[in-house]
């Protein structure tokens, strides 16, 4: 692996027609009434969003990314494999990343089968992330958050066994019994599609990724924390005898590109603000169902939440998180610096947020692909090269 950067375009596919009284609801997750979903509008949105993901492929993004959430306006992708299946025949080159279905919410053999089907259909373009699932998903799915981590481990073991060992095999575990584990088809890529674990920094999750030699995608953590997590993961992976490649540690960044800095901010910030204040809005109860976190993690996060109160402040939030907004030069420079600082070659760009209209998404995708990517692709990445060697 050379130091060449790789660019993903990630979409959340939000439901953007929020009712006027939505601020009355503390959470737009879990319990936000689904009477507010209008299927006519949903139909338009699915088609629009699919076209934006297909466009990313045509424009030369290396990968397109979908993911899974339940009971929320934040994402209309309750079953992302359906979305991925719709994308396979419409795209040519981009890798298709399902990042991903929490294995705890599906029978592991069935999830292994669905991923294998997508991988075979796309001739090996599939990449997979294996999340534990947010706390919110455990209120929406009938799965015990207190035993989620044990179940997650067992599910991964079954999926890997299904992909890598000639069947039929057996599995007798705490949560599942398989007398004939023998799924057809098997994945196109050998031994299996590239896998990442997704997390917000729980030590338990990092340990799983390290042990299996999987990539790790940290989400919704600060820049500093993301860097620490990458470092921890490299060390823990090494402990298990794995050397992580720079492309195994994707950096999640929000991006918006326009002709000038002012114009970029003027066109973008309003949507970013709605993303944080509305689409991501949920309650402490839903974030941490009983047993989802250790009490130590709960205390840490509660202390952090106390510090972060206050309104949306673009300048402050841009300093804490990876958010690249501005001219092609500015965005390219920021991403270039971050990739070196994080020692990663994998840039996962959120190219659409909240109620950003189609024209802005098209503009953002186009400018990023035509102006930002070429600037970065020609650049020498000494730190990465060193890391790779």
Partner 1 sequence: MSKFARDTYTIDGVKTVVYSAGSGEPVVFFHGAGTIDGFDFAEPWTEKYRVIVPYHPGFGESGDDTSFTDLHDYVMHYLELFDTLRLDRFNLVGLSLGGYLAAKFASEHGHRVKKLALIAPAGMIDAMHPMLDLLAVPGEQVPGLLVSDFEVLKKRLPEKPDIDFMADRYREATTVARLLWERPGDPKFMRYLHRIKMPTLIVWGDEDKVIPVEQTETWRKFIPNADIKVFKGAGHLVHLEKREAVDAVARFLG
Residue 228 CB, nearest distance to partner 1 (Å)? 22
Which phi and psi angles does 52 have, rounded to 5°? Answer: -70, -35
Contact 217, 252 (CB under 8 A): yes
Residue with smaller CB distance to partner 1, 249 or 288? 288
284 or 374: CB nearest partner 1: 284
Q: Which of 204, 200, 183 is nearest to 192 (CA)?
A: 183
Q: Find the shortest distance in angstroms from Cβ 285 to partner 1.
A: 4
Closer residue to partner 1, CB minimum distance, 292 or 338: 292
Closer to partner 1 by Cβ: residue 306 or 389: 306
Nearest by Cα to 203 from 236, 238, 246: 236
The H or E element that residue 116 is part of is: helix 108-121
- Residue 261: both structure tokens together: 């800095």
What's the DSSP call for residue 370? Answer: I
CB of 153 to partner 1, least distance (A): 14
Q: Which long-range contacts (CB under 8 A, 24 or more apart) does 268-272 make?
A: 268/325, 268/356, 268/360, 269/314, 269/325, 271/353, 271/354, 271/355, 271/356, 271/360, 272/314, 272/317, 272/323, 272/325, 272/353, 272/354
Least separation in angstroms between CB 295 and partner 1? 5
Q: Which is nearer to partner 1, 95 or 151 (CB)?
A: 151
Q: Which residues contribute to the site for partner 1 (CB under 8 A)?
A: 139, 142-147, 283-285, 288-291, 293, 295, 298-299, 302-303
CA separation, residue 337 to residues 184, 252, 324, 383, 387 (Å): 44, 14, 11, 10, 15
30 versus 264: smaller Cβ distance to partner 1: 30
In sequence order, the 6+-apart residues with CB closer than 8 A to the CB of 376 are: 5, 332, 335, 336
Residue closer to partner 1 (CB basis): 185 or 284 = 284
> CB of 208: closest distance to partner 1 in angstroms?
17
Q: How far is the CB of 280 from partner 1 (least distance, A)?
A: 18
**Shortest gap between Cβ of 284 and partner 1 (angstroms)?**
8
CA distance 97 to 127: 5
What distance in Å separates the CA atoms of residue 334 and residue 58, rounded to the nearest whole number? 25
């Amino acid at each position: 692996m050379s130091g060449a950067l790789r660019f993903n375009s990630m979409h959340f596919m939000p439901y953007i027609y929020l009712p006027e009284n939505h601020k009355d609801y503390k959470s737009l997750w879990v319990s936000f009434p689904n009477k507010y979903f209008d299927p006519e509008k949903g139909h338009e949105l699915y088609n629009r969003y699919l076209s934006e993901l297909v466009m990313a492929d045509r424009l030369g993004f290396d990968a397109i990314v979908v993911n899974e959430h339940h009971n929320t306006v934040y994402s209309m992708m309750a079953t992302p494999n359906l979305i991925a299946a719709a994308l396979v025949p419409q795209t040519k080159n981009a890798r298709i990343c399902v990042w991903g279905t929490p294995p705890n919410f599906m029978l592991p053999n069935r999830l292994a089968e669905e991923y294998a089907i997508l991988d075979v259909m796309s001739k090996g373009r599939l990449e997979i992330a294996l999340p534990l699932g947010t706390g919110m998903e455990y209120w929406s799915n009938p799965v015990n958050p207190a035993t989620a981590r044990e179940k997650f481990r067992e599910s991964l073991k079954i999926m890997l066994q299904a992909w890598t060992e000639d069947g039929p095999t057996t599995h007798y575990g705490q949560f599942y019994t398989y007398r004939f584990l023998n799924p057809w088809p098997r994945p196109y890529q050998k031994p299996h599609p590239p896998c990442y674990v997704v997390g917000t920094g729980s030590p338990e999750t990092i340990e799983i990724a390290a042990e299996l030699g999987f990539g790790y995608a940290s989400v919704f953590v600060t820049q500093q924390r993301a860097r620490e997590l990458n470092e921890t993961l490299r060390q823990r992976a090494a402990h298990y005898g794995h050397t992580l490649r720079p492309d195994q540690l994707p950096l999640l960044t929000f991006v918006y590109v326009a002709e000038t800095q002012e114009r970029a901010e003027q066109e973008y910030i309003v949507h970013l603000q709605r993303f944080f204040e509305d689409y991501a809005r949920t309650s402490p109860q839903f974030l941490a169902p009983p047993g989802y976190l250790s009490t130590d993690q709960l205390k840490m996060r509660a202390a952090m939440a106390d510090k972060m109160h206050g309104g949306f402040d673009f300048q402050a939030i841009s300093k804490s998180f990876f958010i690249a907004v501005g001219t092609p030069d500015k965005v390219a420079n920021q991403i270039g610096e971050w990739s070196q600082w994080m020692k990663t070659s994998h840039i996962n760009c959120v190219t659409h947020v909240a109620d950003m209209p189609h024209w802005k998404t098209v503009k953002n995708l186009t400018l990023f692909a035509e102006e930002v990517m070429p600037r970065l692709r020609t650049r020498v990445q000494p730190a990465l090269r060193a890391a790779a060697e």
